[in-house]
């Protein structure tokens, strides 16, 4: 295994060749906010929260999809980057109807955690309050588009881990929505196996199990992806 050395926030670090900058940060204990990324799924570089500055490059790099290279100088927490991250999270809150107090994921939500960690206590952008529908046609699960941040974790887990590819994104721009099959009600989906992986990886309360009260969606465990991966690739069946 060859190793590259780079500078992370002024500190020399080493990384295995081919590692992403996000992995380097995680291994070095540098906290970088993420939303669309989830260990065990492919990376799409969509949420733009893990953007970092690379010395000598005009453009910012999304750490999750940028490979560590010899001699790179990375800055992860400049004033500008922090400002962008706050803006992005504020834009998400303004985009749909995120009302924590009545959300099943209250207290267990990645978006909420992000906002708290970035010190966001109010939103400066105009709330869009779109009129979205809720799909409760599935016998066990509910899709509440009001809480969806379009991270596509559900799309990827269904395609890459479950192999069903029930979920995908339909529409464009602010009108994008995750859909099951060809936008059929979830309960009528022919491809859905009912495995619930999408519910487990959903960062917010957009996908949840039925019969949950506000704050009740406690059971999400995202580490199962690592467990599945270890089981499949290393034949280790321990949790």
By CB under 8 A, name the binding residues for another protein.
Answer: 44-48, 51, 59-60, 62, 65, 80, 84, 87-88, 91-92, 94-95, 124-126, 128, 149-150, 168-169, 171-176
The least CB distance from residue 200 to another protein, in Å, is 23
Q: Is the dihedral of CA 221, 142, 112, 46 positive or negative?
A: positive
> How many beta carbons lie within 10 A of that of residue 161, not counting itself?
19
- Judged by beta carbon, residue 33 or residue 141, the one nearer another protein is 33
The least CB distance from residue 151 to another protein, in Å, is 9
> How many beta carbons lie within 10 A of that of residue 52, not counting itself?
23
- Judged by beta carbon, residue 174 or residue 218, the one nearer another protein is 174
Closest Cα to residue 6, out of 94, 58, 66, 48? 66
Question: 10 — alpha (psi -120 to 50), left (phi > 0) or beta?
Answer: left
- Give the phi and the psi of residue 234 in degrees, each rounded to 5: -105, 0
The least CB distance from residue 148 to another protein, in Å, is 11
- Judged by beta carbon, residue 92 or residue 207, the one nearer another protein is 92
- Judged by beta carbon, residue 169 or residue 218, the one nearer another protein is 169
Q: How far apart are CA 159 and CA 84, in angstroms?
A: 31
The least CB distance from residue 98 to another protein, in Å, is 12
Q: How far apart are CA 47 and CA 30, in angstroms?
A: 19
- Judged by beta carbon, residue 83 or residue 210, the one nearer another protein is 83
The least CB distance from residue 145 to another protein, in Å, is 13
């Amino acid at each position: 295994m060859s190793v590259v050395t780079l500078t992370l926030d002024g500190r020399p670090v080493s990384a295995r060749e081919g590692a992403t900058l996000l992995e380097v940060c995680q291994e070095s204990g540098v906290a970088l906010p993420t939303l669309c990324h989830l260990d065990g799924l492919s990376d799409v570089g969509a949420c733009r929260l893990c953007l970092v500055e690379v010395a000598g490059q005009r453009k910012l790099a999304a750490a999750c999809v940028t490979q560590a290279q010899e001699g790179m100088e990375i800055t992860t927490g400049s004033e500008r980057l922090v400002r962008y991250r706050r803006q992005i999270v504020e834009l998400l809150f303004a985009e749909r109807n995120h009302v924590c107090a009545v959300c099943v994921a209250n207290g267990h939500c990645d978006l909420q955690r992000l906002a708290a960690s970035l010190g966001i206590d109010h939103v400066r952008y105009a709330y869009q309050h779109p009129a979205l529908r809720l799909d409760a046609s599935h016998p066990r699960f509910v899709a509440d588009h009001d809480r969806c941040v379009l991270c596509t974790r559900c799309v990827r887990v269904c395609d890459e881990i479950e192999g069903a590819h029930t979920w995908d994104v339909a529409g464009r721009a602010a009108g994008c929505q995750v859909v099951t099959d060809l936008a059929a009600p979830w309960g009528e989906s022919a491809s859905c196996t009912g495995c619930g992986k999408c519910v487990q990886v959903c960062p917010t309360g957009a996908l949840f199990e039925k019969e949950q009260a506000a704050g009740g969606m406690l059971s999400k465990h995202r580490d199962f992806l690592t467990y599945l991966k270890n089981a499949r690739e290393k034949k280790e069946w321990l949790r």
